[in-house]
Every structure is written in structure tokens, then in C-alpha cells.
A and B are shown apart, each in its own frame.
Chain A
Amino acid sequence: MKRYLSILKDGLIRQNPVFVLLLGMCPTMATSTSLSNAIGMGFAATLVLICSNLFISLLRKIIPDKIRIASYVIVIAGFVTLVEMLVTAYFPDIAESLGVFLPLIVVNCIILARAEAFASKNTPMAALADGLSMGLGFTLALCVMSFIRELLGSGALLGNTVLPEGFPRTLILTSPPGGFLTLGCVIALMQFILRKQKGKGAAS
């Protein structure tokens, strides 16, 4: 149980897939223009991650090594399509705002990376925990990014105006350069915090 808890904690902060492992940046920058987009994308990607990690772990002894990447991709693509169908049917607004990035979850580096690095080498329960934690870490990263971008960029959160009218909106933040900029600064901040922690740990 302790092991699963530590896996869970890892994915959220210490091994956050976006800010620390530097994976999955395309969808992070593209779908973090608003908090609702971010939550929708995070939810869809987490679902795919959990399912694909679980199944790849279950199938890990059956898939021959030579074709493992191709097999993983097929399984992942299958789950992405399934999630795409479910989201389009039952959450059409989210599907609409995610646009082309919903099917693009299949090339989200995080999913293939975790399949290769973790799910293929661990038990199904551990793989499931890892999928959940990486997915939550990804969602957390998206939410942090979109919180900054939507609040400062359009003065709103979840579509509701939060900043008072007089407060200037830094529109550049919701546009593409803003995505790059926000991600760069947040990663730098993470690096700063991690180094400080390391420094404190070394000193004590």
C-alpha cells in the first residue's frame, strides 16, 4: 500500500510528467488556454493513461519484444478512440473545445513513455497506480498553466470574469507565445524549487 502511495505522490510533484520529465508539452501548451479545456483534456488523458497502462501491464508477457512499440501504439490508439467516442457522446462541449487534440492524445509522449518505462515492467496494480498518478500530474500541470493563462490573459476563470474591469488583461498569454512563455517560466520555477530542496537536503 505504501508503495502505491509513493507512486501516486511521485507523479504529482517529484516526477511530474510535464514540469519534471518534460513530456507531453504539445497538448499542455495547446489546451491550457482555459481552465475548462485543461480539466477536460486532463480527464481524457488520465482515462487513457490508466487503461493503457493496465492493459499493457496485463499483456506484458505476451507481447514480443521486437514489436512492442507497435503493439503499445495500437493499444493506446484503441483506448484514445474509445475515450474520443465516449467524450463526444456524453460530454460534447469538452470534445468541441479540445478539437483536434482529443485524437492527438494518442501521440502524447507521456502515455507511450510510461508504457515503455513502467507498465511493461511492473504488475498491473502498480501500473494502474502509475497511470493514475501520471495522469493526475499531467492534469495538475495543465490546471496550473491554464490558471495563469486564463486569469491573467482573459481575466476569467472557467468562463466567469474574475478580475475587475480596470485590471489589464495580458492577452498575449492566451495566444501561442503565451503558452511557451508560461511553460518556460513554470519549469524554471520548478527547477529553482527543486535545486533549493536539493541544497537543503545536502546541507542537512
Chain B
Amino acid sequence: MTFQSLLTLSLGAILVENFVLVRFLGICPFLGVSKKMNTALGMGMAVIFVMTLSSAATWAVEHALLQPLKLDYMRTVVFILVIAAFVQVVEMALKRFVPALYSALGIYLPLITTNCAVLGVAVINSDNATGFLESVLFSFFAAVGFTVAIALFASVRERLEHSDIPAPFEGFPIALVTAALISMAFMGFSGLQVF
């Protein structure tokens, strides 16, 4: 994989086709954990870890187990089980080694299991039938894109806390409108070509 294609892949996954703002994958944690910058970043780190490793695992399981046994239709079930197991491992590791982050993330950590982005990237890699390295790198950069988006969003929301907002828009609706504006900004990246 050349540096050029790596750059294209990374910028594509982070900016042009940002998983949250363009592909709509990972909205629940995006809207749920983005009220404070440090929890947002913590969630982003956890997602990077889970997405990268679980996509490595799901690729391996698909090519070593499902395809040889012609069990392709079990893809969804097996993938979600692998992801659930990984999240459990991450949860236990965080509880042991970084308890502050564990308690800050609270309920949102087990929710990474139901994060559309994690299963989504595994399914996208499977559909595109890319090789191992490319799949894992794509997932890594997609997760980085998620972290970039959630960090940007958190920085805006922290300020929104102190703003005067019409009553019906308080809470979720204004967050969604903000996300719309950031997503619009990201639309400017479409057609981005490095070389």
C-alpha cells in the first residue's frame, strides 16, 4: 500500500466520507456523549480501539471461518457477537486500568456494542471485500473521523449550554441543528483530492 493510497484512504474516511456526519453511522453516542469535551474524547478513544480491533477480528472470522464453511449468511450474527465480546473486554480493561474513564463513560461504554459505526464498518469492509490491511486501516481512520466529529461537536455543545435557546429546541433539537451545520461544513470536503 503506497503512501499516496494510504493518504487517500485516511482523508476519505476522516473527512470526505466522515462516518458520523456524512454516513450517519454512530449517531447515538455522537449525540449522547458529546456534552463535555473530555468524555467525548474518551468515547472517541474507546471507539477507535474497539473499531480497529473488532474489524480485524471480524475480517479474520469471515475469511477463516464463514467463507470456507459457506456460512456467509451468519455474518450479521457472528459479527455482532465478536463486537459484543470485544466491548466486554474493553470494559473490563478500562475498569481495571483507567477507572476514572470507566466511570465517566458510564452507560455509554456497553453501548458501543450497539453503535452502528462499529458493526457498520465491519459490514462495509465485508461488502467491499477489501484485504486485511486495507480493512483495518479503513476502520481505524473511520474511527478517527468519528473522534474528530465528536470532539468538534462537543466543543460547540459546551458553549451551547450557556446560550439562550427557544424552549422547543432545547436539548436534542438544537444539537441536531448544530450537527447539520457541522455536516454542511464537512460537505466542503467532497471532491478533495490530495494528488
Direct contact of A and B (CB under 8 A): yes
A: residues with CB less than 8 A from B are: 22-23, 25-27, 29-30, 69-70, 73-74, 77-78, 80-81, 84-85, 100, 103-104, 106-107, 109, 112, 172, 175-181, 183-185, 187-189, 191-192, 195
Asked if B27 and A184 make an inter-chain contact with CB atoms under 8 angstroms apart, the answer reads no
Complex CA gap A27/B179 in Å reads: 16
Which chain B residue has the least Cβ–Cβ distance from A193? B168
Instruction: Give the secondary structure class of A's interface.
Output: helix
Nearest Cβ distance between residue B170 and chain A, in whole angstroms? 8
Complex CA gap A106/B77 in Å reads: 9
Provide the B174-194 mask, 1 if CB < 8 A to any CB of A, else 0. Answer: 111101110110010000000
A74 / chain B contacts, CB cutoff of 8 Å: 77, 80-81
Asked if B168 and A188 make an inter-chain contact with CB atoms under 8 angstroms apart, the answer reads yes
Complex CA gap A81/B78 in Å reads: 11
B: number of interface residues (CB 8 Å): 44
B103: Cβ under 8 A from any A Cβ: no
Nearest Cβ distance between residue A56 and chain B, in whole angstroms? 15
B152: Cβ under 8 A from any A Cβ: no
User: Could you write out 10 A-B pairs with CB less than 8 Å apart?
Assistant: A25-B27, A26-B25, A73-B80, A100-B123, A103-B75, A103-B119, A107-B115, A107-B119, A176-B23, A192-B168
B5: Cβ under 8 A from any A Cβ: no
Nearest Cβ distance between residue A64 and chain B, in whole angstroms? 16
Complex CA gap A176/B167 in Å reads: 25
Which chain A residue has the least Cβ–Cβ distance from B80? A77
A78 / chain B contacts, CB cutoff of 8 Å: 77
